[in-house]
């Protein structure tokens, strides 16, 4: 078992289970998870229907009963309207969607870890827990729990979205099932597999960082102020420059972001979605990410160990720097 | 003392923070089944010492051995966490979680299986009149109830050694009595208790042996009765009517014997007799020298061994 070789064991699972179930049963969490995508979909739909009255006609302009029929109908249309081949467009769309979902999971789960650590420190429960397990086991349990929660959350969003499509589709005579079949047949498996690696490492990086930062803060309020800086920055940096990338897949901005550890996952996933990135660059970025993640996990452990029991003051960067060398 | 009777051994342990020695060359041992008091004023280094015993901090130097052997050279972090219970000074539990599940979770982290933990939790909650709060969220409980739940969380998993850091701080007097009784109960059940406190008078009756710490260093250590005997001081309390000026009386006492005057006015006095002045001699002196030709009517007198707190203050003063 990998966990046990890292010095983590049964107790890590117990922490993970406790945090996972506890948050899952939290009404606020459920509310956000289910209602958020519904509201988003609903408002998007209303806007789209109001703004583009012709949309309904164009949607049902492709009466197809099978994915193959739909493909035959779509191919000339896509090439005419967009100037690209259908398979490229579809795989970019799918990969892009996955990249967004993964980035959001990193963003949400990282925030969860941060707030959870701050709350645990604030309520003083952490010292009691540390009598039963090591800081490593505690952080690992939390990171696992909130990573899993993030994925569950994402799965619920996707499920809500698909259900929405399936329920609404027939009213518009929209070819829901053929479209889903077509999308599925164009799933870019290798890319998605690679995404999973970027996601796992990227999340581990951000979550460790969040746990460390959380341990040095005194309350949830100071957490909220800084959390945008901590969690949002790396994940959002590639997203916020997205227009640059869609204009020019080779843009220098993304080349740079591909080597800045916190934003590697975002930058690389989006690049991979839109273009073919040379294998060498993929491997280099993975190497840099792996190295910096290992470094971050170690650093975070040290900071957490000291920070979590310092009550009554938030720590300056200078003090944190001193500990990590100690 | 046979090696097997020593449960915990602290050997020349030092820890400093930012150049300040919080704990400085401390050594002591805790024996199986005893109630051991780690006493000293706030900021003396008690919590730091306790955190090192629990493996939360690593000592800068020195060793902490558990069970008398076995862990001899390992870092102190290798303590058997399943067999230790802890009530931190800064305590809290998960506000939004239910009392029962929280107790089961913490006991589970210490390796106790869920069914046994549940049985024990119900017994403990029953004992402390909290049975109906098992399914309630912690934040619905009053502060006093939460303190009881925190205490249960420290002992539920039947630890061999229970470490209680300032268990009486923040308790009202009835709860203090309850906790005193609970801690005696733990020892009766065979657990070894290591507790820290700054209210020495409160725990004096509770502890078998004590370690008194001040500014990170040992002040006194050992069997409580023995410490009192070794220090041999006596506290004399008198109530009297003094018709002369009390300054005159003070001068006469100072001249007559080496007792230290703790307080003195026209109605009474409190003195500290050093070891080399036996009570008998003092009484003689009192009758012959002080009461004889002076206008002093004695109403009450008591001569007692001093409290631990008094001894502590005296020893620290002499350091």
ipTM, 2 decimals? 0.83
Question: Which residue out of A12, A16, A132, A307 would a mutagenesis test of the B interface target, given it has the greatest number of B Cβ atoms within 10 Å?
Answer: A132
pLDDT of B73 > 80? The answer is no
Q: What is the DSSP letter of B301?
A: E
Nearest CA in chain A to B54: A131
B 160-199 residues inside an 8 A Cβ radius of A: 163
d(CA A94, CA A77): 19
Helical (H) or strand (E) element with A262: none
Nearest CA in chain B to A117: B94
**Per-residue model confidence (pLDDT) at position B132:** 95
**In chain B, alpha helices (H):** 46-53, 99-109, 114-127, 143-155, 173-188, 200-203, 224-231, 246-256, 279-285, 308-318
What is the value of pTM for the model shown? 0.83
d(CA A48, CA B194): 69
Rg of the Cα atoms in chain A: 22
Higher pLDDT, A132 or B67: A132
Is residue A2 helix, strand or coil? helix
Of residues A22, A123, A130, nearest to B92 (C-beta): A123
Interface touch A14/B105, C-beta < 8 Å: yes
Confidence class for position B24, pLDDT limits 50, 70, 90: very high
Q: Chain A contact for B83, CB < 8 A?
A: no
Q: Which residues of A touch B153 (CB under 8 A)?
A: 128
Judged on CB neighbours under 10 Å (0-12, 13-18, 19+), B147 is buried
Higher pLDDT, A197 or B307: A197
Helical (H) or strand (E) element with B26: strand B20-31
Neighbour tally for A175: CB within 10 Å: 23
Nearest CA in chain B to A136: B56
Interface touch A309/B105, C-beta < 8 Å: no
Of residues A26, A125, A131, nearest to B93 (C-beta): A125
CA distance A112 to chain B (A): 16
Do residues A202 and A266 touch, judged by C-beta distance below 8 A? yes
State which residues of chain A have pLDDT below 50: none
Mean pLDDT of B212-224: 91
Distances (CA, A) of A300 to A210, A220, A326, B17, B105: 8, 19, 13, 20, 25
Question: Which residue out of B78, B90, B158, B160 would a mutagenesis test of the A interface target, given it has the greatest number of A Cβ atoms within 10 Å?
Answer: B90
Over pLDDT 90: what percentage of chain B?
46
Q: Which residues of B touch A130 (CB under 8 A)?
A: 54, 56
Q: Which of A259, A269, A260 is nearest to A239 (CA)?
A: A269
Over pLDDT 70: what percentage of chain B?
94
């Amino acid at each position: 078992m990998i966990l046990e070789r890292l010095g983590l064991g049964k107790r890590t699972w117990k922490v993970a289970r406790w945090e996972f179930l506890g948050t899952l049963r939290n009404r606020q969490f459920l509310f956000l998870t289910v209602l958020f995508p519904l509201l988003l979909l609903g408002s998007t739909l209303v806007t789209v229907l109001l703004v583009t009255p012709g949309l309904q006609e164009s949607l049902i302009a492709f009466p197809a009963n099978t994915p193959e029929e739909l493909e035959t109908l779509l191919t000339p249309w896509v090439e005419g309207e967009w100037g690209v081949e259908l398979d490229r467009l579809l795989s970019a769309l799918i990969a892009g969607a996955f990249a967004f979902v993964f980035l959001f999971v990193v963003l949400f789960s990282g925030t969860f870890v941060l707030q959870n650590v701050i709350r645990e420190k604030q309520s003083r429960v952490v010292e009691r827990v540390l009598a039963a397990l090591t800081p490593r086991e505690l952080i690992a349990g939390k990171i696992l729990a909130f990573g899993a929660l993030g994925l569950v959350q994402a799965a619920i969003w996707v499920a809500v979205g698909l259900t929405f499509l399936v329920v609404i589709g027939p009213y518009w005579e929209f070819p829901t099932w053929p479209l889903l079949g077509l999308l599925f047949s164009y799933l870019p498996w290798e890319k998605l597999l690679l995404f999973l690696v970027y996601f796992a490492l990227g999340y581990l990086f951000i979550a460790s960082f969040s746990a460390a930062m959380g341990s040095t803060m005194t309350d949830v309020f100071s957490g909220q102020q800084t959390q945008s800086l901590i969690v949002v920055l790396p994940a959002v940096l590639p997203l916020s420059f997205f227009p640059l990338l869609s204009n020019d897949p080779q843009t220098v901005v993304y080349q740079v972001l591909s080597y800045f550890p916190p934003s590697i996952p975002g930058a690389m996933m989006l690049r991979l979605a839109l273009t073919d990135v040379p294998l060498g660059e993929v491997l280099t970025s993975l190497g840099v990410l792996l190295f910096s993640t290992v470094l971050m996990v170690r650093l975070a452990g040290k900071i957490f160990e000291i920070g979590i029991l310092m009550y009554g003051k938030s720590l300056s960067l200078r003090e944190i720097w001193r500990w990590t060398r100690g | 003392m046979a090696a097997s009777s020593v449960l915990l051994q602290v050997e020349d342990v030092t820890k400093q923070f930012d150049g300040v020695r919080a704990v400085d060359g401390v050594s002591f041992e805790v024996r199986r089944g005893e109630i051991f008091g780690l006493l000293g004023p706030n900021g003396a280094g008690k919590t730091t010492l306790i955190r090192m015993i629990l493996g939360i901090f690593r000592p800068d130097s020195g060793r902490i051995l558990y069970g008398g052997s076995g862990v001899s050279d390992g870092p102190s972090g290798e303590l058997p966490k399943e067999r230790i219970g802890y009530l931190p000074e800064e305590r809290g539990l998960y506000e939004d979680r239910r009392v029962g599940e929280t107790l089961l979770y913490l006991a589970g982290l210490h390796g106790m299986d869920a069914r046994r933990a549940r049985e024990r939790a119900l017994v403990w909650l029953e004992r402390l009149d909290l049975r109906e709060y098992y399914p309630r969220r912690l934040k619905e409980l009053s502060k006093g109830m939460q303190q009881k739940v925190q205490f249960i969380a420290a002992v539920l998993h039947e630890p061999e050694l229970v470490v209680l850091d300032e268990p009486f701080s923040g308790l009202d007097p009835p709860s203090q009595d309850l906790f005193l009784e609970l801690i005696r109960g733990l020892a009766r059940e065979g657990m070894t208790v290591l507790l820290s406190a700054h209210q020495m008078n409160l725990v004096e009756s509770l502890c078998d042996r004590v370690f008194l710490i001040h500014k990170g260093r040992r002040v006194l250590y050992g069997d409580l009765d023995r410490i009192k005997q070794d220090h041999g001081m006596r506290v004399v309390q008198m109530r009297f009517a003094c018709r002369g000026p009390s300054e005159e009386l003070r001068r006469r006492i100072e001249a007559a014997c080496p007792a230290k005057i703790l307080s003195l006015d026209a109605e009474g006095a409190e003195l500290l007799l050093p070891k080399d002045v036996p009570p008998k001699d003092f009484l003689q002196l009192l009758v012959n020298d002080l009461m004889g030709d002076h206008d002093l009517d004695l109403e009450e007198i008591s001569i007692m061994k001093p409290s631990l707190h008094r001894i502590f203050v005296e020893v620290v003063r002499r350091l």
